Amino acid sequence: MSKYDIIVLGSGPGGYVTAIRASQLGFKTAVVEKENLGGVCLNWGCIPTKALLKSAQVFEYLKHAGDYGLSVTDYDKDFSAVVNRSRGVANGMSKGIEFLMKKNKIDVIKGYGKLKPGKKIDVDGTEYSADHIIIATGARSRELPSLPQDGKKVIGYREAMSLPNQPKKMIVVGSGAIGVEFAYFYNSMGTEVTIVEFLPNVVPVEDEDVSKQLEKSFKKSGIDIMTSAEVTKVDTSGNGVKATVKTKDGEQVLEADIILSAVGIKSNIENIGLEDVGIVVDRDKILVNNFYQTNMPGYYAIGDVTPGQALAHVASAEGILCVEKIAGLHVEALDYGNIPGCTYCYPEIASVGLTEKQAKDKGLDIKVGKFPFSASGKASASGNKDGFVKVIFDAKYGEWLGCHMIGAGVTDMIAEAVLGRKLETTGHEVLKAIHPHPTMSEAVMEAVADAYDEVIHL
């Protein structure tokens, strides 16, 4: 039996990052992976979707070349080539992870891993043991009883990334990050898209102003949106698919070629031996302490299988924290109130901290500032005037409570707010930090100025 200091079960952005950090700290490390290195995020999620979205963005530029004084008379799309480019990007990144495993002298054990008592893992009949076993098995597309996925007419995100043919009509059920990203992509490619959202607002976890702006932008681009609506039944017996949708005005039947179910994720915790080991699970999540130790000594869990936010950068941070704690380093528990969330449709969405409603519900006395990109010189010059930056501060102490952005490139701007909040900066400090002109990022300073009644360009 091979013996390791640390074995990581799963090689997604939680697992492979954990393994590399463990190796850097001097641990003899192995990773168990049943498919491709990089997990869902790298192979079927974060990375290939961004490649698809870039193709959609370029296609949008071609369609609107005249807005920039350019004449492009002959252009078209090749849907298969767009998909193949995305797959090529993912494959290249996966090979990059293989290189990192070799560079860091991490053993990659291919196969299906199952936990065993006594800090062991069985991989297709071969047992391995370790002083510490870290579970990082991630999650998959969640299925609703009323919306069973057949992989052909009712699909999840994985099939949506590699369809052989572009559908003429698509229904997207759910308007979280996955739903709106694919809605934007397929709409940009020319598919007629309808979004069905159970809650009153699209992207319901976001600040309400952001939700309203995205709905306005999506409708302007031709996407139909149904909120406070529920798919109660699907009929796949014909050539396409029919969805019965219940709304406050009654039922209606929508017809399409394909339904994309984007109603959330399901943790991959079945059949990995949790029951055999005695690891406690609650509501589809493995329970852990602040440093990701389960109730069973020597077994840990990170990423989507734990109660924190199901985001790639969260899984990576948790894994690093976990192994640094094992190594005896001085570490602080992760601040889950300062985790940025990003959605890569157009306009992009990025946020961190409290929404305006959450701040008010807490009874806080707040200052709110908002700066529209329509008043930004850089946004006007680039032709990306949709959206805004919104900031929320504590009125008494100037604490930066929340930041919410929607617009072009905002996913690259949100880190300023994350770092500022981490360093406990105040509104006046942000306001007096000089931001370069002309940039999209100066909208952050302008929004702060608006909160303190000092805005210049609005």
Q: In order of start, what are the domains of the chain with their CATH numbers?
A: 2-141+266-336 (3.50.50.60), 154-263 (3.50.50.60), 347-451 (3.30.390.30)
70 phi/psi in degrees, rounded to 5: -110, 150
Q: How confident is the model at residue 391 (pLDDT cuts 50, 70, 90)?
A: very high
Q: If you compute the radius of gyration of the chain from its CA atoms, what whole number of angstroms results? A: 23
Mean pLDDT value across residues 299-321: 96
Instruction: Return the pLDDT at 458.
Output: 81
pLDDT digits (tens, 9 = 90+) for 1-21: 689 999 999 999 999 999 999
- Strand order of the sheet with strand 192-196? 154-155, 258-261, 169-173, 192-196, 224-226
Instruction: Return the pLDDT at 39.
Output: 83
Q: Coil, strand or helix: which one is 30?
A: strand
Q: Please give the span between the terminal C-alpha atoms of the chain, in angstroms, as a whole number.
A: 69
pLDDT digits (tens, 9 = 90+) for 121-151: 999 999 999 999 999 999 998 988 889 999 9
How far is it, in rounded angstroms, from Cα 139 to Cα 137? Answer: 7
How far is it, in rounded angstroms, from Cα 134 to Cα 11? Answer: 11
pLDDT digits (tens, 9 = 90+) for 160-195: 998 999 999 999 999 999 999 999 999 999 999 999
Instruction: Return the pLDDT at 429.
Output: 96
Catalytic residue (choose from 64, 428, 435, 437): 437
Instruction: Return the pLDDT at 366.
Output: 97
Which has the closest alpha carbon to 76: 55, 96, 92, 91? 55
pLDDT digits (tens, 9 = 90+) for 416-425: 999 999 999 9
The reply to whether omega before 347 is within 30° of 0 (cis) is yes
Percentage of the residues of the chain whose pLDDT score is greater than 90 = 91
Mean pLDDT value across residues 332-355: 96
Q: Where do runs of H (alpha helix) occur along 272-311?
A: 274-277
Instruction: Give yes or no: 437 in active site.
Output: yes
Instruction: Return the pLDDT at 372.
Output: 97
Which has the closest alpha carbon to 53: 411, 444, 341, 316? 411
